[in-house]
Amino acid sequence: MTIGIDKIGFYTPNQYVDLVELALKRRIDPAKFTIGIGQDKMAVAPLSQDVVSMGANAAAKILTPEDKAAIDLVILGTESGVDNSKAGALIIHRLLKLPNTARVLEIKEACYGATAGLQYAKLHLLQNPKAKALVIGSDIARYGLETSGEVTQGAGAVALLLSAEPHILALDLPSSYYSEDIDDFWRPLDQLTAEVDGKYSTTAYIEFFEKVFKDYQAKTGLTLEDYAAITYHLPYTKMGLKALKQVLPMASDEKQTELQQHYQQETLYSRQVGNIYTGSLYLALLSLLNNDRVLKPGMRIGLYSYGSGAVAEFFSGKLQPNYTKYLDPIYYLELFEKRQKLTIADYEAQFKAQLEPIAPGQVLENQDPSAQFYFAGVVDKKRQYKEIK
């Protein structure tokens, strides 16, 4: 029996900032953002999209009534959750009309939360092979206006449907992980913007990668030659490339070229969206699968997850026969094309508004035609979500 990813859904809000325009406004050479960092656009969530509504939107895209009936586990990985106690996954579970006989929870460990959810789901499905599990990574990345992290913001959610005998990626059972208490990135409870030791975070990301990659190699005997591609958590697209370059010398020249070509395909969506924290690794996977015409069923993909603080994990999976039938690349082309560009002044105004609490009684309207669910405001301190019928 195999366990793995049966379907992947993605949602990002319909507005973005052009990073060349942002660079010019900040009096920075645009090449620093587009080449040095490797980002072209960043998604901006309006007030009416939060991690709950984005997560529900990502999942609604992929779930059939049969999937819904089989789901008995729902996990939301997020580091920008909307409540200090209640799991946002419970609201998503209600919005999607999922069975009450499901276990529903939220996991936090920076960008690693969705991977923790995926690994939990894998073990759960090994024991319950007839069930399906929904794992969502949903986040809004905020560092602040005119900070060095500003160019690495973003917003979006990825939904993974996991099952036995999956249609897209069958996960290999082993996994290698490494954890250490470090202060590379964190967000105090009273802040909506993250604190970061940027340079330290980039070296930690790479050091942790080398540790888990080598451990996985020792555990499984798999070498770089065994992977068609390695997908990375992408806080920005240059970051994964730096990690890949650390291990490339272990491979033949031909394999080095191949891995770098596939890497370009996995970065295409991230370049348009920015960092979506918990969902970023899976957005890279979706981008690779939707855009790479060289991949074939049976090929092995490596996955590197990194959550600041920090926890890293390396694992892998094999592409399944006919996996392309379960993807929808045209939908995502259109999703990106239909987005609206914000002026820098509009983006700054929205950013400032988002740092303020929602006024009691303030009613928010949906602004995104591609959204099925949105956050409508707060009544009696309870968050209200609406579905567009």
167 is catalytic: no
- Residue 137 interacts with ligand HMG (CB under 6 A): yes or no: no
Report the relative pairing of strands 71-77 and 382-387 from DSSP bridges. Answer: unpaired
Question: In the set 8, 37, 87, 224, which binds ligand HMG (CB under 6 A)?
Answer: 37
**Residues in contact with ligand HMG, shown as a per-residue x/- string from 262 to 281 under the rule CB under 6 A:** -------------x-x----
Locate tokens 């999937």: which residue? 67
Q: Distance (Å, rounded) from C-alpha 166 to C-alpha 3?
A: 6
Please list every residue from 196 through 255 that binds ligand HMG, using CB under 6 A.
Answer: 196, 198-199, 201-202, 205, 233, 235-236, 238-239
Q: Does 138 bind ligand HMG (CB under 6 A)?
A: no
Q: Which of 128, 148, 246, 343 touches ligand HMG by CB under 6 A?
A: 148
d(C-alpha 120, C-alpha 231), whole Å: 20
By CB under 6 A, what part of segment 53-82 binds ligand HMG? 79
End-to-end Cα separation, the chain, in angstroms: 39
Catalytic residue among 109, 150, 167, 233: 233
Structure tokens at 75: 């996990």
Catalytic residue among 106, 109, 111, 313: 111
Does 338 contact ligand HMG by CB under 6 A?
no
For the CB of residue 302, give the shortest distance to ligand HMG in the complex, in Å: 17
| Count of C-beta atoms within a 10 Å radius of residue 276 | 34
The SS3 call for residue 137 is: strand
Q: Phi and psi at residue 66, in whole multiples of 5°?
A: -70, -40
- Round to whole Å and give the CA distance between 128 and 124: 6
111 included as an active-site residue: yes
Q: Does 308 bind ligand HMG (CB under 6 A)?
A: yes
Active site residue 233: yes
Buried b (16+ CB within 10 A) or exposed e, 202-235: bebbbbbbebbbebbbeebebebeebbbbbbbbb
Instruction: Return the DSSP state at 359.
Output: P
Number of shown-chain residues binding ligand HMG (CB under 6 A): 31
Q: Measured from the CB of residue 242, what is the shortest distance to ligand HMG in angstroms?
A: 7
Which range touches ligand HMG (CB under 6 A), out of 4-12, 145-153, 251-259, 365-373?
145-153
- CB count within 10 Å of CB 40 equals 19
- Is the peptide bond prior to 121 cis by the omega test (within 30 degrees of 0)? no
Interacting residue ranges for ligand HMG, rule: CB under 6 A: 29, 31-32, 35-37, 79, 110-111, 148-149, 151-152, 184-185, 196, 198-199, 201-202, 205, 233, 235-236, 238-239, 275, 277, 306-308
Q: Which residues are identified as catalytic?
A: 79, 111, 233
